[in-house]
Chain A
Amino acid sequence: MAIDIRADEVSSVLKQKLAQFEAKTDVYEMGTVLSVGDGIARIHGLSNVMAGELIEFAGGMNGLVLNLEEDHVGVAIFGDDSGINQGDTVRRTTRIASVPVGEALIGRVVDPIGNPIDGAGPIATTERHNIEVKAPGIIVRQNVHQPMQTGIKVIDALTPIGRGQRELIIGDRKTGKTSLAVDAIINQRGGDVKCFYVAIGQKQSTVVEVYETLRKYGAMAYTTIISSSASDPAPMQYIAPYAGVTMAEYYRDNGGHSLIVYDDLTKHAQAYRQLSLLLRRPPGREAFPGDVFYLHSRLLERAAKLGKAQGAGSLTALPIVETQASDVSAYIPTNVISITDGQIFLDSSMFVSGQRPAINPGISVSRVGGDAQIKAMKQTAGSLRLELAQYRELEAFSQFASDLDPATRAQLERGRRLMELIKQGVHATLSVVKQVTIIYAGTHGYLDDLPASQVRAYEHQLHEALDSRYAGFVKMFEKTPAMTDEIKQEMERILKDFKSVYVPPTAAAQA
């Protein structure tokens, strides 16, 4: 709060308010609390209330009307219900739940109603949008054709994501799902994409960790965090992703680009299940209500690439789903897999064996991103995908290495190096040129004479060399990011030249 408010300013504001204050009859509709508990209130009266409308309790607390029944209304309370008593009066607001939107939200941490929780003062925006709106229809959209670079080699090469796409990140606990999403946000630095991270049912400490990471890498300059932690009431967790997508849509609809991460939709479905059961809606499979598919489909449909007439804005969604013991055939995973345009599958056995990011290239797919891939990457990654697939087929035979024919053995060796090549450090995102160069080196045999254990050292040195020695090539590539003959020749020349510069790590350094 500013301390230097002058007394005459205050009185002039008061005077203005008092002058405008009309002695009008206040007409409103009201109801009475029948029962309250577990974040749910049952209200008698309010016979004209709309589903999804906000209502106001006596203490100023808000609630969301979810159930309209013959003789009462079921309401989810946004906040602590201990101050609400049986017999309290409730007022209609005739408003649908909405959140503040606009540039003022950038760099902030807010709760699902849009209140700041980062202690950095109020959010200076007057624009509010309803959190439940219909997704754009087919007429206003165009196909996904621009890349959304994540800076992660294996994603950008094998399961590319386009602007406006919905790509699911799925895996067991502790397989690097959040890190992957955070990396995708970090990689937008210096670009035109605004990022939104929605934490649903996360530990407060995890949210702080994500915030600190984003801040450290300068990503809070274009990111908003919407946090509903595990201790928040279920209604808050339920509306969090809708609040987030509403804030992100602001850019999509104004010709900008945004990226939103929902971390994670399993917890979101659980919060909704809790609400539904308390509202006595009939339970279905795994006790989820019947509309849990619609819950996620209407959310993810709001990710879109808009047509030129609408400003060609985009909203890319990266939902996260946690599986139990790699079971992708559970209810929520199958639902979200079928809604999204592909999934990145994180494998816990790969993670523990040191293959990080633990993306399983065999079952990860991207259904639309291929059209959005940069040409050079498309031309290079094709052979990577093929060789990795062949390697997976032959992998089982690798223990009989001595009995294999030389061609098969060569293929196995190549595959081993490529698996090493798609490893990448956490929060170490790479530019397209670096990705293309190292993948080109791997698929064209430049790594074959190196021991597999040296691939990462080679890559590291190559990237350093691209920053200094071969800066001219980087400039040339960025001008025409396609594998033209000219670029190909130059890349071959560089890779040959780099052979002489490359210093193998000493045994001491390796140990």
Chain B
Amino acid sequence: MSEYRVAARYAKALFLLSEEQGATVAVRQDLADLRRLIQATPDLASFLAHAALSSREQQVILDALFKGRAAPLTARLLGLLVERRRLMVLPDVCSAYEDFYRAAHQILEARLVSAYPLRPDQVEALRQKLETKYRHQIDLAVDTDAALLGGFVVRVRDTVHDCSVRGKLDALFTSLAHA
């Protein structure tokens, strides 16, 4: 838990600085790429969490990987994390930065899971409905899950709107079981 709090502090500092310098778009892109890369490469994740490597070794490896490819601010973040021996919080910094960015730009993350793929106009209609309901811009991730049988489930932050056949069957089951 405390790691998340540490990450949030780094992310906040980075976010404020990138806003000042007008580098938000580049930094955000960098961090999103980093996050994807860490998720896709278990080796990179274990390198970040490795406690036995010295700062110098870490810096050499990071330089080899990212030198010249990342925005100046991102590179400086990596340098600072290495110096502070906090490289293990990098994945959390990436997600915390995204949270700050979304909060500042009134964007809500939402996830739509449907039993069958929806047409783009259907997804768009739903997105607009959610935007009017939550008065925020909605960043909608779309997915399918055949286990829902029919209908869809939307999750916006912690709130779940369950319009699936599976959910209805479950609710019917509980109501009959307690009859």
Question: Which residues of A does B touch, CB under 8 Å?
Answer: 13-14, 17-18, 21, 23, 25-31, 42, 45-48, 69-72
Given the interface pairs A17-B179, A21-B175, A47-B157, the reply to whether A27 lies near B5 with Cβ below 8 Å is no
21 contacts between A and B (CB under 8 A): A17-B175, A17-B179, A18-B172, A23-B168, A25-B161, A25-B162, A25-B163, A26-B160, A26-B161, A26-B163, A26-B167, A26-B171, A29-B160, A30-B155, A30-B159, A30-B160, A46-B158, A48-B158, A69-B1, A71-B4, A72-B1
Nearest to A26 among chain B residues (CB) is B162
- 4 other contacts beyond A14-B179, A26-B168, A30-B160, with CB at 8 A cut-off? A13-B179, A26-B161, A26-B162, A47-B158
For window 149-178 of B, CB contacts with A under 8 Å fall at: 155, 157-163, 167-168, 171-172, 175-176
Cα-based distance from A31 to B158 in the complex (angstroms): 6
Contact A14 B158 (CB under 8 A): no
**B175 contact set on A, CB distance < 8 A:** 17, 21
Considering residues B159, B161, B163, B179, which has the most beta carbons from chain A within 10 angstroms of its beta carbon? B159
Considering residues A17, A26, A29, which has the most beta carbons from chain B within 10 angstroms of its beta carbon? A26
Nearest to A29 among chain B residues (CB) is B158
Secondary structure at the B interface, as helix, strand, loop or mixed, is mixed
Identify the 3 closest CB pairs spanning chains A and B, nearest first. Answer: A26-B162, A45-B158, A29-B158
Cα-based distance from A42 to B2 in the complex (angstroms): 13
Question: Which residues of B does A touch, CB under 8 Å?
Answer: 1, 4-5, 155, 157-163, 167-168, 171-172, 175-176, 179
Given the interface pairs A23-B168, A71-B1, the reply to whether A17 lies near B176 with Cβ below 8 Å is yes
Contact A28 B160 (CB under 8 A): yes
A186 → chain B closest CB, angstroms: 38
Nearest to A70 among chain B residues (CB) is B5
Considering residues B155, B160, B179, which has the most beta carbons from chain A within 10 angstroms of its beta carbon? B160
Considering residues B1, B155, B161, B162, which has the most beta carbons from chain A within 10 angstroms of its beta carbon? B1
Nearest to A89 among chain B residues (CB) is B160
Nearest to A23 among chain B residues (CB) is B168
Secondary structure at the A interface, as helix, strand, loop or mixed, is mixed
Cα-based distance from A69 to B175 in the complex (angstroms): 34
For A30, give its contact among B158, B163, B179 (CB under 8 Å).
B158
A11 → chain B closest CB, angstroms: 12
B152 → chain A closest CB, angstroms: 10
**B158 contact set on A, CB distance < 8 A:** 29-31, 45-48
Cα-based distance from A28 to B162 in the complex (angstroms): 8
Cα-based distance from A45 to B111 in the complex (angstroms): 15
Given the interface pairs A14-B176, A21-B175, A47-B157, the reply to whether A27 lies near B1 with Cβ below 8 Å is no
B89 → chain A closest CB, angstroms: 13
Contact A28 B159 (CB under 8 A): yes
Cα-based distance from A26 to B171 in the complex (angstroms): 9
Cα-based distance from A46 to B160 in the complex (angstroms): 11
Contact A27 B161 (CB under 8 A): yes
For B159, give its contact among A17, A21, A27, A70 (CB under 8 Å).
A27
Cα-based distance from A30 to B160 in the complex (angstroms): 7
Cα-based distance from A71 to B9 in the complex (angstroms): 13
Cα-based distance from A17 to B174 in the complex (angstroms): 11
Cα-based distance from A13 to B175 in the complex (angstroms): 11
Cα-based distance from A436 to B162 in the complex (angstroms): 71
Cα-based distance from A84 to B179 in the complex (angstroms): 27
Contact B160 A27 (CB under 8 A): yes
A424 → chain B closest CB, angstroms: 50
Nearest to A280 among chain B residues (CB) is B1
Nearest to A69 among chain B residues (CB) is B1
Considering residues A17, A25, A27, which has the most beta carbons from chain B within 10 angstroms of its beta carbon? A25
Nearest to A92 among chain B residues (CB) is B158
B8 → chain A closest CB, angstroms: 8
Cα-based distance from A14 to B175 in the complex (angstroms): 10
Contact B176 A27 (CB under 8 A): no
**B163 contact set on A, CB distance < 8 A:** 25-26
Considering residues A13, A27, A47, which has the most beta carbons from chain B within 10 angstroms of its beta carbon? A27
**B171 contact set on A, CB distance < 8 A:** 21, 26
A87 → chain B closest CB, angstroms: 15
**A26 contact set on B, CB distance < 8 A:** 160-163, 167-168, 171
Cα-based distance from A29 to B157 in the complex (angstroms): 9
**A25 contact set on B, CB distance < 8 A:** 161-163
Cα-based distance from A27 to B163 in the complex (angstroms): 9
Cα-based distance from A370 to B131 in the complex (angstroms): 69
A148 → chain B closest CB, angstroms: 40
For B162, give its contact among A27, A46, A70 (CB under 8 Å).
A27
Nearest to B170 among chain A residues (CB) is A26
Nearest to B171 among chain A residues (CB) is A26
Contact B1 A21 (CB under 8 A): no
Nearest to B155 among chain A residues (CB) is A30
A1 → chain B closest CB, angstroms: 14
Nearest to B177 among chain A residues (CB) is A60
**B4 contact set on A, CB distance < 8 A:** 71
**B159 contact set on A, CB distance < 8 A:** 27-30
B109 → chain A closest CB, angstroms: 12
Nearest to A16 among chain B residues (CB) is B179
